[in-house]
Amino acid sequence: MSDRPDFLVIMTDQHRWDWLGCNGHSVLRTPHIDSLAQGGTSFGQYFVASPVCMPNRASFMTGRYPSVHGLRYNGCHLPLTANTFVDVLRAAGYQTASVGKSHLQPMIDKTVAPKGKTGSIAEAWKTDFTAYGHEQPSRYSGTENYDLPLPYYGFDHIDMVTRHGTEASGHYRQWLRRNYPNAAENPLRQLPHNYTCPQALRTDIPEDAYPTAYIRDSAVRHLQANADNEDPLFTFVSFPDPHHPFNPPGRYWDMYNPDQFALGPRFADHVAPPPPLMALYEDFVAGRAPDARTFAFMAREQHLREAMALTAGMIAMIDDAVGAILSALEESGRRDRTVVIFTSDHGDYLGDSDLLLKGPWMRDSINRVPLIWNDPDLSQLVARNDALASTVDIAPSILARAGLLPYAGMQGRSFLAELQGDRSLARASLLIEYNDANMRFGYSAPARIRSLVTDDWALRVPGGESWGELYDRRRDPDQVKNLWDAPDHAETRRKCTAQLLDHLIAQMDESPRARHPA
C-alpha cells in the first residue's frame, strides 16, 4: 500500500461558519462534524474566494481565483482544458472519486453556444461549447445512469447530484425513478404544515430517498468497495444542503423549533445602510418578491426563525450522514491513514440584517465558512487556527500533504505549517471576488465587487459605484457601522485600498510559464 495519505473531503452547500456546534452555535447539535474538530484543527478565519457556488467550487478545484480560472459567475463553465489538483493526485497514482454535487458546469438546460451573426466571433476564447452540458437535467432524463466522459476534472468515478432538495437531479434522480417513481415525478408535492416562510416545503419523500441519504449511501459503498485498494484514495463527498429550499425530510423537519433561535444583527442596527441593503429593504416594504428563487430577500422575523429551524434540520441530517461515512471509513481499516477535511462552498445571510439566501452584498455570513482539517499523521495539530485562509489554499495544502508540487499558476498557498502552530508565513490579508450576472439591488450594472479581509479590517469596493464599505472587524464584529466616509479612518481606508490593489495586480495568469532558452 502507498505511503501517501488518503483524503476524504466533505463539502456542504450554503453553510455559514457559525452554524456548527464546534464553532459555537448555541442550539444546533453537530456531534459527528464536531468530532472532526476535536481530533483536528478548526479554522476561525477561513473565507471563500467568491461567495457563489460555481466560481468558488472552481477555485477549490484549481487553487485559482475566478478572474483567472474563468468560471466567474454561475452559468459559466470551468474550461475542460483547466487542470485541477485532483488531476495532479490522479497523475500521482490516486484513485479519485466524486460523490454528490460538482457544479463546475451549469445545471439547467439551455443553449450554451454563444449567439451571434453567421460568421461572427462572439467570444474572446476559442471554446468547443458542444463538449459541455454534462450536469444539465436532460442528460439524466431516463432511468439508466448517464455515463459522463472520464476523467471528469480529474475524477475517475462520478456519482452526480445536481440542483437542490426535492428537485435534485443527476444520477440521484435516475436512481429515484427506479426506486421511488412517484417521488421522482412529483418533486414539489408536500405534506401539510404551518410554516409560512418562502421556500419552506415539507416533502413526503422518505428520509432514505432524500439526496443527503443517497450521497451518504453512495459514499459508504465507495469506501467499502475500495477498502483493500493498494492505491491511495481521494474521495470528494459533496452535499447540496443546507441550500434552500428549506425542506428537511421526515424527523428532521421538526427537530428544531423556530422559537429556539436568536436573531443576529438586524437591518435597524445599521448606522447608514449601504445601497444594496436599502434596495432590499425598499422591496420588502413594498411587498415586492425577488425576481428569482435564488435571489436574496428581506423577511419578517418569524420567517427568519423558520428558515433557521429548517436549516438546522438539514444540517442535522448532514451531520448524521457524516457519522455514517466516518463509521464506514473506520470499518474499512483506512481511517488511520485518511486526512478528513470538512468545508462549505459559501454561506447564507440566514437572518443577518433581516436577509435570507445570498447576493451581491458582501458579509461575513456569506464569505466565511467552516474548514476543519483532521489529520491522524500530522503531529501537534493546533485545535484552532485563526490565521486567515482562503478557498484557493486548500488545493496546495492537499498537494503538499501528499508530497506533490502544485502546477504553475496556482495562486493559493499551503497552510500546513499553521496547522502545527507556525504562523510566520501566515496571510496578512486575503482577496474575495464577486461577479454578478444580473443588475439588481440598486447597482448601476451587474455587480463587480472586490473585498479585502485582514485580521482587523474588512474593505469592500464595488466597481463603478460612488460608495464603498470599511468595517472594524474587532470593535464592530456585526459590521453595522460603515467607516468608509469617516474622516478619522481615511488613512485606514487608504492602507486597505493599497493592499487590495496589490491583490488585484497579482490577478494575472502565470500559466503557461515562459520557456527560456538554456
Residue 324 lies in a domain: yes
What does the alpha-carbon distance between residue 398 and residue 428 come to, in Å, rounded to a whole number? Answer: 21
CB 189 within 8 A of CB 268: no
- CATH number for position 365: 3.40.720.10
Asked if the structure places residue 280 within a domain, the reply is no
3-state secondary structure of 147: coil
pLDDT at position 118: 56
- Nearby residues of 37 by Cβ (< 8 Å), 6 or more positions away: 20, 22, 372, 374, 383
CA distances for 438 relative to 53, 114, 325, angstroms: 15, 18, 39
Backbone angles phi, psi at 250, to 5 degrees: 55, -130
CA max distance for the chain: 74
Contact, 318 vs 239, CB < 8 A? Answer: yes
Q: How far apart are the C-alpha atoms of 214 and 222, rounded to whole Å?
A: 12
d(CA 11, CA 369): 11
Q: Is the pLDDT of residue 6 over 90?
A: yes
Q: What is the pLDDT of residues 204-213, one digit of tens each?
A: 999 999 999 9
Range of the domain at 422: 6-111+129-267+296-426
* The pLDDT of residue 116: 52
pLDDT band at 131 (very low <50, low <70, confident <90, very high): confident
Q: Is residue 285 part of a domain?
A: no
Amino acid identity of residue 114, one-letter, is: P
* DSSP type of residue 186: -
| CB contact at 8 A, 158 and 238 | no
Query: Distance (Å, rounded) from C-alpha 396 to C-alpha 411?
Result: 9
Q: Is the pLDDT of residue 108 over 90?
A: no
Q: What is the pLDDT of residue 5?
A: 98
Band (pLDDT 50/70/90 cuts) for residue 124 is confident
Asked whether residue 283 is assigned to any structural domain, the reply reads no
- In 3D space, the residue among 258, 214, 257 whose CA is nearest the CA of residue 237 turns out to be 214
368 occurs within a structural domain: yes
Kindly state the average pLDDT of the residues 302-321.
Answer: 98
Q: What is residue 409's predicted lDDT score, i.e. its pLDDT?
A: 96
Q: Is the pLDDT of residue 64 over 60?
A: yes
Specify the pLDDT at position 16. 98
Has residue 455 been placed in a domain? Answer: no
Answer yes or no: are the C-beta atoms of 360 and 353 closer than 8 Å: no
Q: Would you say the C-alpha torsion 115, 136, 61, 165 has a positive or negative sign?
A: positive
> pLDDT per residue over 260-291, tens digit each?
999 999 999 999 999 999 999 999 999 999 99
In a domain, 500, yes or no: no
One-letter amino acid identity for 333? G
Percent of the chain with pLDDT over 90: 90
pLDDT-derived band at 513, boundaries 50, 70, 90 = confident
- Whether the pLDDT of residue 230 is over 90: the answer is yes
What are the pLDDT digits (tens) for 366-419?
999 999 999 998 878 999 999 999 999 999 999 999 999 999 999 999 999 999
> Tell me: the pLDDT tens digits for 75-95?
889 999 999 999 999 999 999
Kindly report the number of other CB atoms within 10 A of residue 299's CB atom. Answer: 20
Q: Is residue 361 part of a domain?
A: yes
Mean pLDDT of the 150-170 span: 97
Locate 384 and state its grid cell.
484552532
459: pLDDT strictly greater than 80: yes
Which residue is associated with the grid cell 474622516? Answer: 487
**Structure confidence at residue 113 (pLDDT):** 52
Q: Is 122 exposed, middle or buried (0-12, 13-18, 19+ CB in 10 A)?
A: exposed
Q: What local confidence, expressed as pLDDT, does residue 379 receive?
A: 74
Distance, CA of 370 to CA of 21 (rounded, Å): 11
CB 46 within 8 A of CB 370: yes
Sheet holding 457-462, edge to edge: 429-435, 448-454, 457-462, 469-472
Number of domains the chain contains: 1
Of 78-82, 122-126, 316-320, where does mean pLDDT reach its minimum? Answer: 122-126
What proportion of the chain, given as a percentage, has pLDDT over 70? 97
pLDDT given for residue 323 in this prediction: 98
